[in-house]
Amino acid sequence: MAEDTPQRIERSVLIASTSGLHARPAALFSQAAAEQSVEVMIARPGGDPVPARSILMLLTLGADQGDEVILSADGEGAAEAVATLAALLEKNLDEEG
């Protein structure tokens, strides 16, 4: 039986929140990232990935509404974690109750 090798999951997402990935959306996103079973990284295309669970690092991305970001994670649970966080970014978190 072959050993399972960790699979890298990557997904490109457009930021939907009116204020981009700043303020409230960044706080909600980093909190959700911290709850995932694997560490998820986030990057601007061509940029260095930063931990999605770090609100300070999220703010350094300078991602605004309509900007593309790339989520990535490795290992068991990576697909679910990336899908969960991508769904958050695809919502306008400024309007979430």
Query: What pLDDT is attached to residue 1?
Result: 45
pLDDT in tens, 19-33: 999 989 999 999 999
Residue 81 φ/ψ, nearest 5 degrees: -65, -45
| Beta bridge mates, 68 | 14
Considering 17, 20, 21, 22, which one is annotated as catalytic? 22
| 22 tagged catalytic | yes
**According to the model, what pLDDT value does residue 7 have?**
83
Task: Provide the whole-model pTM.
Answer: 0.91
Helix (H) or strand (E) holding 43: strand 40-43
